[in-house]
Structures are given as C-alpha cells and as structure tokens.
Amino acid sequence: MSTTPTPAPAESRTVLLRGGDVHSPADPFATAMVVERGHVAWVGSEGAADAFAEGVDEVVDLEGALVTPAFTDAHVHTTSTGLALSGLDLSTARNRGEALALVRAHAAARPTDRILLGHGWDAARWPDGEPLTRAELDEATGGRPLYLSRIDVHSAAVTTALLDLVPGIADRPGFTPDGPLTRDAHHAVRAAAHAAVTPQQRTEAQRAALRHAASLGIGSVHECGGPEISSEDDFTGLLRLAAEESGPRVVGYWADLDIERARALGAVGAAGDLFVDGALGSHTACLHEPYADAAAGHTGTSYLDAHAVAAHVVACTEAGLQAGFHAIGDAAVTAVVDGVRAAAEKVGLARVRAARHRVEHAEMLSPETIASFAEFGLTASVQPAFDALWGGEDGMYADRLGVERARALNPFAALLRAGVPLAFGSDSPVTPLDPWGTLRAAAFHRTPEHRVSVRAAFTAHTRGGWRAVGRDDAGILVPGAPADYAVWRTEELVVQAPDDRVARWSTDPRSGTPGLPDLTPGAQLPLCLRTVVGGRTVYVGPDE
C-alpha cells in the first residue's frame, strides 16, 4: 500500500483511498473512499474516484487491500490487559507442573519487582483439575508477593506474602487456607496487588494495551472499571491518556451504585462489571439449579438482587446515564430482567428503552429472558470467544453445568432473531483482543443453532459497539460517519452464513451484499496494515 505524502495535520487532511475493496452499505461494490476532517466524505467506484484525485492532500493506493470500519471491543480491562501482555501468562500451561515452572522462571527474571503479577491459569483444563496451592507458590517465588488471576478473573491464587498485606483477610467471604480466593477475599487481594503497581507501570501497561488494540484494527474500546475492579486513579488516568495520545478511543464505564461518583469520574454509565454474580469457571455465577461438579446444592453467588437492580436502573435513567450489570448465570440474568421490569413500571418503558442499558456476558439465557431483553431494549454485551474456549460437550461449561444446560449457553442467533442489540467484545485479558477470531467464534459456535452469519457478527463488533454507547451514526463507512477504519491484507472476500441458501443468495451480485474475509476455522485471518481513528493514523503495520 503506497501513499503520496503531505505536510498537512492528519486530522485536517483530505485523503482519497482507492484501488481496493471498501466495506460499505452505501455502495457494496465500492473500491474507493474519501476522508475529510476526520469523517467519511464519499465512497464509490474507481472511475468516480478520478474526480477527487486532484483535490485531495493525499492519495492512498490500497493495492487490493480491504478497508472496513475499525472494530469496537465492547468490554475491556485495559490496565490488566497491558499487565498481562508484559507479565506472566499462564494460559499456555497444560498442567500444574508447567504452571509452577513458569512462575519460578518469572520470579527469577524479576528480582526487584515489588509484586509479581500473572494471569490465565485454568485448572479446569489440567489433567488433575486441581489449582495451584499457596504452599507451592510460596516455594516457587521464594516467599515474595504474587497474584495470579484465574482466566475468568473471578478468583486468584496468591502467596502468603500477599495475604500478609491485607489485614483480616482470613475473615472475608471467599477465603480458603490453601486454595484460590473468591468473592470479597479475592477483591481485597486484587486491590492490594494493584496498589503495588506504580503509576508509571500502570501508564505503560495502558499504553501497551492500546497500542496492541490498534495493531488489531480496533478503533474503540469500552473500559469496564469500578471500585471492585480497578482504582479511580487507574480509570481517570486511562481516560486522560486516551485523550492526550493518538490511539483507540476509550469509552469509560464505572461499575458503581454511586452514580454521581461515576459521572464525576467521566464515565458514560454506572455500568459494566457491576456484579450481580460471578463466573462459571470459579463456581460463582448464580444459577437457578445447582452446579453439576460442586458441593451438593451449590448455586453460586448473588451480589445484587432484583430490588437493587431496579433502584439502580431508576436512578441511572433519571440521571441520563446508562446502567449496566455483569450477569452470567440464569438466576443472575433473571434478577436483572425482574429489576429492569420493576424500573420500567416506575419510570416508563419508553425511558428505559431510550437509555440503552446494558448486560455484560449474559450467557445463560432462556426464551423468556431473551424476550425481556428485546422488550426493554437491553444491549447484550457478549464475548463469543468464551464459547470457543469453554464450550462444547467436553468443555468447562459442560463440566460445570452438564451437557444439556451447557448447550444452551451464548445463544447469539436467538438474540438476533428477537431483535436484541448485540455488542461484541473480549473481556480482555480473560480472552485476548482478537476481533476476527471473535467473529469466527460467533459464526462457528460450538452449538450450531447458536451460530450467526459473519456479516451479523461483523456488525455486532463494529456498529454494535457504537450503538451500545448511544451512537447510531458510527461504526459504518458511509458519508458523515467518523473516519474510524482499518486496512487489511486478506484473501478472497466471501459471504458466510449458517444457512447455505442465504450464503448462495448473498453472493449473487443482485443481492448487493459486501463480502468479508473467509473465517472458516483453519483459514488465515486478515493482517492489519493500518488503523485510523477520526482521520488520524494510529497504527501502521510493518508489512505496509
């Protein structure tokens, strides 16, 4: 891809991109696009592009590359993502022995760190199914403070030296003498671990995460912070960094029942990971029926009931803020739906729908709760990579719930049929930032009846994220839209849909359906050549 240089400031330049494929509903056969003052000014054919060539500041020869809207990741923990990129990654450990070896090597390589941080262990995928013990970690680290979050970030294995930094930890719910911590005990040690990270380390982690996002064609991230997740300094520092430096846009959500505090911090909503329950992997997602692999009668953890949900939705609606909740288990989702219904009865259905309140994860849904999402205009902020990682008849979901209940999880097709707005994300660092992999996971869901077309998945990961924050004019390459786009090297463009009849019709030129890369498992995913946000280039790939 080649360009003609210009000295004009990036945000004020008029740029013509031509000679490629432009993914735009304004013209399904577009090969060119004009960007002016940070917005899309025109899309169209190669012949029509000639009329613009003399009047622009820059001409970009795409050389056959694909231009798409930049992706929006609707659920990210930016600092944790950056720390995971530079810290100890246990996601590749195939057993406890490998995990301990990685811990020992990491501790030896960082002799001066005030605290050792790691992420990604998943005992459910190890042969013995047993997590790391505190005694083992004490030995592996030489008695230093260590925090290792489980892959779902709802429990953690820690050392005794870290426990010593939290007075009264043994009296908190979720404490175990030698195993991983959950609930309040986990929240307390996580706060202590993050407090040991210096402001400089935190800023560098945020910068690294945003750079990585940009390299993947991600133009916006929704930061899901909160008092039980990150500090106020972390949240405001990230928003300030995003405003001062070129990179992906950051939309901040602060998960707090104190809505005035959320507003004061610069959040667009008192939403995100406002916990109604925990996670399936840590046995803390709240269920109607007991877990299949836990103590008899264990149904997880409930943090907020329907009454608390209703009060928060009413307060946010009246204040003009988005409300939102973390709800994974079916009992937690029911509590959210019942609470939103009660709020709608008080402030009116139209006001609740207009507020575009959110539910994060929303994995265990029934036909009734799906219908309620549609009725109340709730956005389902979901993570298809969860199914790719934990779904299937031999996956963690089946272990926790049994095969029949597990088969019902993450019903993306049913949500779309009901008209529920979808916004795709990663929950990084729970699963990696990987937008094309996310689309593949949705299109090739382990349960075939939950699959959606690549086109529908693409919309959920681009325009869906913008709609989730109340913007209907973005995430799409049409005149007037923000010039947030990515340029890709990819193979032949195709149309993929679960129903072959739909796919055949969509490839007919009469349908006017723009193609997208082949995401069949095993096919090579597109390579990002350039990412542009608001007309400003924030990433240029080494192969451009």
Q: Give the domains, in start order, of the chain with CATH numbers.
A: 2-69+476-490+526-540 (2.30.40.10), 75-195 (3.10.310.70), 272-468 (3.20.20.140)
Positions of the chain with pLDDT under 50? 4-9, 501-510
Cα 242 to Cα 325: distance, rounded to the nearest angstrom: 25
Dihedral-angle region of residue 356 (phi above 0 means left; psi in -120 to 50 means alpha; beta otherwise)? left
How much is the pLDDT for 11? 63
pLDDT at residue 177, as a whole number: 87
pLDDT of residue 86: 82
- Give residue 513's pLDDT: 75
The amino acid at 476: I
- Distance from CA of residue 14 to its chain's centroid? 32
Task: Compute CA distances 398 → 3, 434, 489, whole Å.
Answer: 52, 25, 38
The Cα 436–Cα 533 span in angstroms is 19
Give pLDDT, residue 198: 86
Q: Which amino acid makes up residue 116?
A: L
Q: At what angle do helices 330-347 and 306-319 cross, to 10 degrees?
A: 50
